[in-house]
Structures are given as C-alpha cells and as structure tokens.
Amino acid sequence: MSGIIGGAGSKSGIIGTTELDYEEGTWTASFHPTSVVIDATRDLCSYIKIGGLVTVYGAIKVGSISSPSGALQVNGLPFVSRSSSEMENRSVGSISGWGYTGTLTTDLHCFQSSGYTYFYIQDQGLNDVANHCAASTEFRFTLQYPTDS
C-alpha cells in the first residue's frame, strides 16, 4: 500500500494526516474439541485487517476424529475480538460445509463473541456440529469481527 487518498481508485497509506492501519497475513486454525483434529495440510487461513476490522477466511478440513461431541470451535484467530459488556461486538459469518455425517440443516453459520480468538460453527437448528464431523469434513468460511489490536 502506498500513496495518498485523493481521487477515485487510489490506494492509500494516509487518509488526511492519519496513517491507515492495514495488514494482511495468514493464521493457523485448529479445532476444539481436540477429538476433532484438523488436517495439517488444510489448516492455513488468511486475514486482512483494516483499522479495527478483521476479515478472516479460508478452507479447513478435518483430518481425523475420535468420538467427537459438542460444539465445534475454530481456534487461532489472528487478533482478539473487541470486548464489550453488551452484544454489539458479536459477529456472524458465512460458511459452507460438506462431508459430514448424520442430519444437519443446510444452513451452517459461524459466530464469534467478544474478547476471544475463536469462533463456533453451528447449523440453523443449533445442533452440535462436532458430533457430525467425519475424517473428510470440509468447511469454507468468511468472518468479519472488530478488534482493538
């Protein structure tokens, strides 16, 4: 990123006299519960941070399972989400999944609460997704959340 915001289409490192906080990178995801193990060849995800807004995205895959139970949590977000006393800093993202077992509704979603470096994957019926993971289950997601970092 370089330049100054001026006309349409310009990129910037400066807005007026304030430097724009911009960062891109990767982060490594893991699952909780630990009975759902991520495939080490499909655990690298990406992020873009602009100011206090982080966008994370990726495709992650289950490598192995051992009697999974409960909610499925994706750990390792690159920044701690902004804390709050109310619910204004919670986020919901877009996610798709396939290769799971049993009955899940087709509408999966991911959600993230304030003050954490993880998000949950649930279906529309609020079923525990970990119970339905198989060794080939794959999820693709995009999530935006606020941070103070």
Q: Average pLDDT of each block of 10 consecutive residues along the chain (149 residues)? A: 45 59 96 95 98 96 92 94 79 84 70 86 78 90 92
- DSSP conformation letters of the chain: --SB--STT---SEETTEE--EEEEEEE-EEESTTEEE-TTS-EEEEEEETTEEEEEEEEEEEEESS--S-EEEE--SSPBPP-SSSTT-EEEEEEEES--S---S-EEEEE-TT-SEEEEEETT--BGGGG--TT-EEEEEEEEEB--
End-to-end Cα spacing for the chain: 20
Q: Is the distance from CB of 72 to CB of 37 less than 8 angstroms?
A: no
The reported pTM is 0.81
pLDDT at 110: 80
